[in-house]
Amino acid sequence: MSIIIKGIDDGKLLITFPYSEDRVRKIKTVTGRRWDSISRAWTVPYTMQNLKKLSELFEDEDITWRNLKVRPDMSGTDSITEGSLTKEDVLTAFTNYLKLKGYSRKTIKSYSNHIKRFLDYIQDKIESIDVQNIHSYMLLLLEEKSCSHSYVNQAVNSIKLLCEGVLNKGSIAVSIPRPKKESKLPVVLSQEEVYRILNSLQNLKHKSILTLVYSAGLRVGEVVGLKIKEIDSKRMLIHIRQGKGRKDRYTILSAAALKVLREYAKTYRPDDWLFPGSSEGRHITERTVQKIFKEALEKSKIRKTVTVHSLRHSFATHLLENGTDLRYIQELLGHKSSETTELYTHVSRKDITRMQSPLDRIIQGIEE
**Residue 368 exposure: Cα atoms within 13 Å on the Cβ side:** 6
Q: Cα–Cα distance between 42 and 302 in angstroms, integer? A: 59
Active site residue 178: no
Residue type (1 letter), 43? T
Active site residue 244: yes
The active-site residue, picked from 114, 312, 313, 318, is: 312
The active-site residue, picked from 219, 283, 313, 318, is: 219
Active site residue 135: no
Q: How far is CA 159 from CA 25, 149, 179, in A?
A: 32, 15, 14
Active site residue 219: yes
**Residue 57 exposure: Cα atoms within 13 Å on the Cβ side:** 19
The active-site residue, picked from 52, 169, 244, 249, is: 244
How many CB atoms lie under 10 A from the CB of residue 181?
9
Active site residue 299: no
Instruction: Provide CB contacts within 8 A for 309, sequence distance 6+.
Output: 219, 220
Looking at the annotation, which residues are catalytic? 219, 244, 309, 312, 335, 344
